């Protein structure tokens, strides 16, 4: 995991991650359930935004959730406790130095993690080692380059590119969603199958206008303002206009599109 984290660790950011999780739970998680008695490694659980859903959808599975950040883990523990879930064990660990024997898990689950890594294929190979033969790998990532909207706006795209560039400078890739097929294939997984999950938002879907366009995506881009200005990536006025144009897409005639990618793969040998 990168030593810096583009989204930061402040409380407002954590609220955003929780909002995002609740709006998108169905879209991203409804087809992930693990059988009772199976063991699942969640790599890079962060503040537990996905952990709660994962544990709720597979109440009989034993989930081990790891993250490199002790403070994130503390929040993840609180979230799991608040949800009265007893099937999750937390452990501090680096994805590149995992404290687990080879072939320890039936399944591995990774969500919004590869986007932050300079060596995503290496990470997938490390995870594959801990997966039993015949086990499954599930990966979910976003792709900021999948964003388009109406009314269109060059400045809104420029503001989004600030986020992409900052994440790149920290070794990550905010456009990684589209690459899940080649990444999993290069890491040696079999039966790789990618399923895009497009979020389409117009005024007939007010919960997404608010929960996704406003509070998830635009809030996330807005959150890199200081870093983008400090890095000299954009003028303040252009950035602010871009953000205004993103909010403009939440008006009654606006439309916003974003796509997450979910991939399934097997370890056959």
Q: What residues line the site for its own copies (CB under 8 A)? A: 143, 145-146, 148-150, 152, 175, 178-179, 181-182, 185-186, 192-196, 198, 200, 202-204, 252-255, 257, 259
Quick one: 8 or 122, whose CB is closer to its own copies?
122
Alpha-carbon span 45 to 112, nearest angstrom: 9
Quick one: 10 or 152, whose CB is closer to its own copies?
152
Alpha-carbon span 119 to 127, nearest angstrom: 13
Q: Count CA atoms within 13 Å of residue 112 on its CB side.
A: 19
Quick one: 8 or 196, whose CB is closer to its own copies?
196
Closest listed residue to residue 267, CA positions, set 102, 116, 111: 102
Quick one: 11 or 252, whose CB is closer to its own copies?
252
Alpha-carbon span 57 to 36, nearest angstrom: 11
Nearest distance in Å: CB 149, its own copies: 7
Quick one: 77 or 186, whose CB is closer to its own copies?
186
- Report whether 21 contacts 212 (CB < 8 A): no
Q: Would you state the structure tokens that stand for residue 59, as one six-digit string?
A: 């109440």
Quick one: 179 or 245, whose CB is closer to its own copies?
179
Nearest distance in Å: CB 55, its own copies: 29
| 4 Cα distance to chain centroid | 16
Residues counted in the chain: 269
Alpha-carbon span 12 to 222, nearest angstrom: 12
- Residue for token pair 């932050």: 116
Quick one: 5 or 181, whose CB is closer to its own copies?
181
Closest listed residue to residue 253, CA positions, set 147, 156, 152: 152
- Residue for token pair 């402040």: 10
C-alpha gyration radius of the chain: 18
């Amino acid at each position: 995991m990168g030593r810096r984290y583009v989204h930061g660790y402040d409380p407002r950011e954590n609220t955003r991650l929780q909002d995002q999780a609740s709006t998108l739970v169905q879209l991203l998680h409804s087809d992930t359930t693990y059988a009772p008695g199976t063991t699942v490694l969640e790599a890079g659980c962060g503040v537990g935004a996905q952990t709660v859903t994962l544990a709720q959808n597979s109440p009989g599975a034993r989930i081990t959730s790891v993250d490199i950040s002790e403070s994130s883990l503390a929040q993840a523990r609180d979230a799991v406790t608040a949800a009265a879930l007893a099937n999750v064990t937390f452990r501090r660990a680096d994805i590149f130095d995992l404290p687990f024997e080879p072939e320890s898990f039936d399944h591995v689950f990774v969500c919004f993690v590869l986007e932050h890594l300079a060596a995503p294929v290496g990470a997938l190979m490390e995870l594959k080692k801990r997966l039993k033969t015949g086990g499954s790998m599930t990966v979910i990532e976003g792709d900021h380059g999948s964003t388009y909207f109406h009314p269109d706006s060059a400045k809104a795209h420029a503001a989004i590119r600030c986020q992409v560039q900052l994440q790149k400078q920290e070794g990550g890739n905010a456009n990684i969603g589209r690459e899940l097929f080649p990444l999993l294939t290069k890491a040696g997984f079999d039966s790789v199958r990618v399923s895009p999950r497009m979020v389409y938002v117009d005024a007939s879907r007010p919960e997404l206008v608010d929960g996704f366009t406003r509070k998830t995506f635009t809030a996330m881009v807005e959150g890199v303002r200081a870093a983008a200005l400090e890095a000299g990536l954009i003028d303040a006025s252009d950035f602010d206009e871009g953000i205004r144009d993103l909010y403009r897409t939440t008006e009654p005639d606006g439309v916003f599109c974003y796509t997450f990618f979910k991939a399934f793969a097997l370890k056959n040998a």
